[in-house]
Structure 1
Amino acid sequence: MSSMIFHCRRMESFDLLSIDLRGIRSEMKQIFLLIASYPDSILTFRGPLIVALQAGGLQVHVCAPGLPLGSEVRGKLEACGLTVHDLQLHRTGQNPFMDLLSFWSLWRLMRGVRPEIVMGYTIKPVIYGSLAAWFAGVPQRFALITGLGYAFQEGQARGGLRALVQRLYALALSRVEKVFFRTQMTSRYFGGAGCWHQVLTLVW
């Protein structure tokens, strides 16, 4: 496949998404669903993105495991005006049945919420979130890859896992409009592994 790579410096409000957001504005508030694997990371690392999306008039939903009703992190997220969904997802587990259950949970959530835009970050939210969004008919799908992750660390014992994750990434990223990378090194690795088709690289 042909590739398109754009290199940029850090942007304070994630303005790069505005190119796509402008094309779907309407009189009704659009829903942006952010999928995470670790709830504490949502405000810590995606806070500026969330603020920018809300300022742009989007209704932001977030989903991650470990966000039951009454939890402290959930309360902080809701205090920021976010709609919160507790997700059945095992971040580091390798049980195919549990992963299939995570995929089904994401698909069911998207069929109920009907977001116009979905973006996942870290391995499982990117892979299962992107595929679930495609199956659910979400119009715009994005992926944010912040690093290589456990499966890509050196070690022969993880060779089979790495090959499987590469194939899953290739399948999932072929179903998104753009892939956002945290570093150029990560984007080069994924490009060499044939895991993406169209890339917008963010460096910060």
Structure 2
Amino acid sequence: MRIAVIGGYGPSLINFRGSMLRAMVEAGHEVYGLAPLDSSTVAEELARMGVKFVEAPIQRTGMNPLKDLSSLFALIKILQEIKPDTVLSYTIKPVIYGSIAAKIAGVKSIYSMITGLGYAFGQTSGKRGLLFKLVKSMYRAGLYFNKAVMFQNPDDRNLFVEQSIISNKKNTVITNGSGVDMKHFAKASVNTETPVFLCISRLLKEKGIHEFAQASLNLKIKYPDARFRLVGPHDHGPDSISEEQIRLWQSGGIECIGPVNDVRNELKNCTVYVLPSYREGTPRSVLEAMSTGRAIVTTDTAGCRETVLNGLNGYLVPVKDIPLLEEAMEKFILQPDLAESMGEASLSYAVKKYDVTKVNTTIMNTMGL
């Protein structure tokens, strides 16, 4: 079959969908990757996988009607030229415009993956409530044409049904995230002598970065030898953390590293992985940490709660609750052996539920591949 996979960010085709694309190629399918040209190396890296890259002018952020309409027309033209048998889209704009474009272009089998709900679903009232209503209606229009919709967690699926974005009769599948390559993110021994707490994320408020920083500052005062590392890019937008705030955290002893090309060294050198996000699809960074054998502290919210068996491989804390987040992190300082035993449990849980080969099998079976 000829398959077109549409994403909103070029490198994500490799970093997040690479193993899936390889599995499709290995199964004998002709695969195209459509995304903006965000990196000069994307086409070359995809070619090495046997995937053909096609530049698609999709605006990742913003709600400019003219630019979005231009993206829709461009996708229609590309799909009419490629003539795929099936289209799979992920992230908000590719799902909406990719699905509509595929229908107009005459594609018979259309699928989408909901990989997280993002900023638009953060509030349902006030100014952001207007954005929520707009995005909800756009999702409804795009997903109407889908043969099946894949979700990374059951909470997101239930929300889409409750909000009438999709019908309860729509074929839906839970994929358990995007999966994790257990060989690439291999088990590493845990250093429990000097506790190192790590958070890897775009620096956005809704990722719980403020909560991680405040809990870390409090613990740094009590335990000066403990280390707290915040790794990830400064993301410009309405939900971003200010650079001034980041400098203040650094002055308090938090190690703000910025983005890194390979997170494996960060995971290898940490004791506990922390992500106090407000909501996720399924957090990829948590799965990678679990695969390397790390205990997890995250929030009892959609997408995150599925990754932790509370008290077994880590701790779940309420969203925005700094005292309880601090308390959970402190347990690993007071009981150093917890990190090792819970890390082993994380690895076992990742093998059972999140191995990328199992996730890819679910996706390809859903698509009849």
Give the TM-score category using the shorter length. 0.7 to 0.9
Q: Which of residues 160, 170, 174 is equivalent to 2:130? A: 160
Give distance in 2, aligned partners of 1:171 and 1:109.
20
Matched, 1:47 2:18: yes
Aligned with 2:154 (options 181, 184, 197): 184
Count of aligned pairs between the two proteins: 173
Give the Cα–Cα distance (whole angstroms) in 2 for the partners of residues 203 and 148 of structure 1: 15
1:149/1:189 Cα in 2 relative to 1: closer, same or farther (>3 Å)? same
Per-residue Cα deviation, 1:72-111 (whole angstroms, up to 9, x for no partner): 2221112211110111111112110100000000000000
Report the identity percentage.
34
The one of 58, 64, 70 aligned to 1:95: 64
Mapped to 1, the partners of 2:46 and 2:24 lie a distance apart of 15
**Which of structures 1 and 2 has the larger relative contact order (alpha carbons within 8 angstroms, sep 6+)?**
1
Q: CA deviation at 1:51?
A: 1.7
Q: Which residue of 2 aligns with 1:142?
A: 111
What amino acid maps onto 1:34 in structure 2? V
- Contact 1:118–1:141, Cα closer than 8 Å, also in 2: yes
The letter of the residue matching 1:65 is P
Following the alignment from structure 1 to structure 2, what is the Cα–Cα distance between the partners of residues 73 and 202? 25
Q: What is the CA-CA distance between 1:67 and the residue it aligns to?
A: 5.1
Secondary structure of the residue that 1:34 maps to in structure 2?
A: strand
Match of 1:4 in 2: none
Shift of 1:203: 2.2
User: What is the letter of the counterpart of residue 178 of structure 1?
Assistant: A
TM-score relative to the length of structure 2: 0.46
The equivalences for 1:29-178 within 5 A come to 30-66=1-37, 71-154=40-123, 156-178=126-148
Which residue identity lines up with residue 202 of structure 1 in the other structure?
A: T
Cα deviations across residues 159-189 of structure 1 (Å, max 9, x unaligned)?
1111011011111111010000011111111
Question: Which amino acid in 1 is paired with 2:22?
Answer: V
User: Could you say which structure has the larger radius of gyration?
Assistant: 2
The answer to whether the 8 A contact 2:90-2:114 is kept is yes
Unaligned ranges ≥5, structure 1: 1-29
Q: Which amino acid aligns with 1:183?
A: N
Unaligned runs of 5+ in 2: 178-369
After alignment, is 146-155 or 175-184 more displaced? 146-155
Task: In structure 2, give the amino acid aligned to 1:58.
Answer: H
RMSD: 1.3
